[in-house]
A = this chain, B = another copy of it.
Amino acid sequence: MDRLNEAMANGGASATLDDVARVAGVSRATASRAINGGNRVSPAAQSAVDDAVRRLGYSPNPAARSLVRRRTDSVAVVVPEPDERVFSDPFFARTLRGVTEVLSARDLQLVLLLARPGQEEARMLRYLRNRHVDGALVVSHHRSDLAGQLADLALPSVFVGRPWGSSDRVSYVDTDNVAGGQDATRVLVERGCRRIGTIAGPEDMTAGLDRLEGWRRALAEAGLAADAVEHGDFTEDSGERAAAALLARHPDLDGLVVASDLMAAGALRHLKAQGVAVPDQLAIVGYDDLGVAERTEPGLTTVAHPVREMAAQATRLLLDQVDGGTAGTPMRVVFPPTIVRRGSA
Against B, the Cβ 8 Å flags (1 = close, 0 = not) of A276-293 are 000000000000000000
**A84 within 8 Å of B (CB atoms):** yes
Interface membership of A334, Cβ < 8 A: no
Contact between B59 and A129, CB atoms less than 8 A apart? yes
Contact with B along A92-103 (1 / 0, CB 8 A): 111011001000
Among the 9-residue stretches A61-69, A186-194, A203-211, A252-260, the one with 4 or more Cβ atoms under 8 Å from chain B is: A61-69
Whether a CB of chain B sits under 8 angstroms from the CB of A331 is: no
A59 to B94, CA, bound (A): 35
Picked from B72, B94, B155, the residue with its CB within 8 Å of the CB of A63 is: B72
A10 within 8 A of B: yes
- Which of B87, B97, B132 touches A93 (beta carbons < 8 Å)? B87
Q: How far is the CA of A132 from the CA of B104 in the complex (A)?
A: 17
Contact A13 B104 (CB under 8 A): no
Q: Does A222 contact B (CB under 8 A)?
A: no
Are B62 and A152 closer than 8 Å at their CB atoms?
Answer: no
Once the chains bind, are B131 and A13 in contact (CB under 8 Å)?
yes
Specify which chain B residues have a CB less than 8 angstroms from the CB of A152 in the assembled complex. 11
* A10-B154 CB under 8 A given contacts A84-B93, A96-B114, A110-B112: yes
Are A111 and B112 also in contact (CB < 8 A) when A61-B131, A67-B61, A88-B93 are? yes
For residue A54, give the distance in angstroms from its CB to the closest CB of chain B: 14
Q: How far is the CA of A60 from the CA of B131 in the complex (A)?
A: 10
Residues of B within 8 A of A113 (CB): 109-110
A104-B120 in contact (CB<8A): yes
Q: Does A123 have its Cβ within 8 Å of any Cβ on chain B?
A: yes
For the complex, what is the distance from the CA of A136 to the CA of B42, rounded to whole Å?
39
A-B contacts, 9 listed (Cβ < 8 Å): A13-B154, A61-B130, A62-B130, A63-B63, A67-B67, A87-B88, A88-B93, A100-B114, A112-B112
Beyond A63-B63, A87-B93, 9 extra complex contacts between A and B, CB < 8 Å = A11-B154, A61-B130, A63-B64, A63-B66, A64-B67, A84-B93, A87-B87, A109-B111, A109-B127
